[in-house]
Structure 1
């Protein structure tokens, strides 16, 4: 357990037992709420990033603010400039959950209602999330974005125990343990829909998920194509959710040997690469974001499955050559 009071001067997180298990959006909302209220330096950096340069004072700092018909706003911050102009920041915090239907639109509608009735003169919807969300947040029409990684960087110059603790929390929140390996309901639902869609529309692909760990609650990170046709382990086809490619993998084979054998047979946009001790025939495809909504990525998912069918046909056509290379 963290015991900050007994921490020696200059202690790191590890030195006084910093340990965090699961981290949730509500934890980050509380941490950001406290930091905005308690740290002038952090507050100034935040407002400069979101609102722009200028002198502002916070007149409202609310957490989990609910309003009938508009749902809950994770953080509501209202700032006032020197002229009395008030700007509302309606902040949504994401970590592993999927976006809800019309979530950004409902935030904007709530902001517009407040402007119309005179609660503020202007409003901005703000998404605070890991960088992997922020890169694709434009699809959800958020007015401003702030990555948790950027906010973490703002704390680097503050040696206080409070900031050391907060830095550890934010770093853990954006670590692979949280975003990639621990239970992630949004990612698990995404992969369930991935298999369901493939089974209905691309049954010949024989899509099978490969678990990331022993626990069934851990979201998978990649899928295997041709799971029935390619039962051996020397040749297989994989699509990793965090990569922009599908690989036909030939185990324990140098890429030069694979290129010599199949180079003249390669089809358009296929290439040979080395991947560790294996060689692969690779097809580039769009990248997927399992923490984002499945329907918003449907065009990319179809493109992936079409490419998967193509490389599976190539594998079946030249299977004897490929399997001999791995022996």
Structure 2
């Protein structure tokens, strides 16, 4: 980062820093909730603004990664010296279609940064721009999935159970899955055919014991307003990055243990997924208005 360069100025703009300047950067900052790839600090008219940055090229998100970033953000925000903390995902544009990307406060693409750096014309900026373009190409080619037998087996069992007890969720037959793949998105559920998954989707976060009806680009207060007269007692509104969810709690599923030993928990989780699917279908107009 150049203290007075276009790149730092662009980050400041995206972070909403006004009349400020770049004041520091730290690589691989770790704490109880994991690691931030990069931490940037800006001093602006409203005080110090800190960005916790996750850099992705092609590798998948780690379990709960965006959630853990939000926990770090909330904890850092308690520091009286800091006026605002923001979570940021930096990745190729194609990566931003992944559901968990929406849970970061700010998303900045490699393409944006490469374009800004090319305009600088100095050797260092051109080198960085070319490096970003190489990252974009690597993302386009994809990453090598390393299947995990236990997780893949659990997905197969969940798929078979879903076909039996919650067929309207339309869970597609899964391929082999990596170790970190423990959230199930029902992209093709009945009643969601005309709705982008970025707008609304049911998510079974089995290893956390949660089922979410997730709404992209919706703040909690807005979702509270939309659902004030229709949501039932077990449903609660939660914030997730720039998304909000109606959440219901279900038994936890351990993807390391045999799924058949946890069939009752899986059935309850899928039944709750179906309950939220039905809720969306019945109240679609109110939920999307």
Give TM-score scaled by structure 1 length. 0.46
Q: Structure 1: 5+ residue runs without aligned partners?
A: 1-35, 203-284, 304-327
CA distance in 1, matches of 2:150, 2:92: 23
Q: Runs in 1 of length 4+ with deviation above 3 angstroms? A: 136-140, 187-202, 293-298, 300-303
Q: Which residue in the other structure is 1:72 paired with?
A: 35
Q: Which residue in the other structure is 1:82 paired with?
A: 45
1:99 aligns with 2:61: yes
Post-superposition offset of 1:112: 1.8
Post-superposition offset of 1:42: 1.5
Give TM-score scaled by structure 2 length. 0.51
* SS of equivalent to 1:66: strand
RMSD: 3.6
CA distance in 1, matches of 2:58, 2:149: 14
> Could you give the per-residue CA deviations for residues 220-271 of structure 1, whole angstroms, max 9, x where no partner exists?
xxxxxxxxxxxxxxxxxxxxxxxxxxxxxxxxxxxxxxxxxxxxxxxxxxxx
CA distance in 1, matches of 2:81, 2:19: 20
CA distance in 1, matches of 2:110, 2:2: 18
1:142 aligns with 2:107: no
CA distance in 2, matches of 1:111, 1:97: 23
Contact 1:57 1:79 in 2 (8 A): yes
Contact 2:117 2:125 in 1 (8 A): yes
User: How is 1:278-317 mapped onto 2 (pairs within 5 angstroms)?
Assistant: 294-300=181-187
After superposition, the Cα gap between the structure-2 partners of 1:64 and 1:161, relative to the gap in structure 1 and judged at 3 Å, is same
1:43 aligns with 2:8: yes
Q: Structure 2: 5+ residue runs without aligned partners?
A: 161-171, 191-289
CA distance in 2, matches of 1:55, 1:190: 49
Q: Which residue in the other structure is 1:319 paired with?
A: none
Q: How many residues align?
A: 177
CA distance in 2, matches of 1:134, 1:91: 14
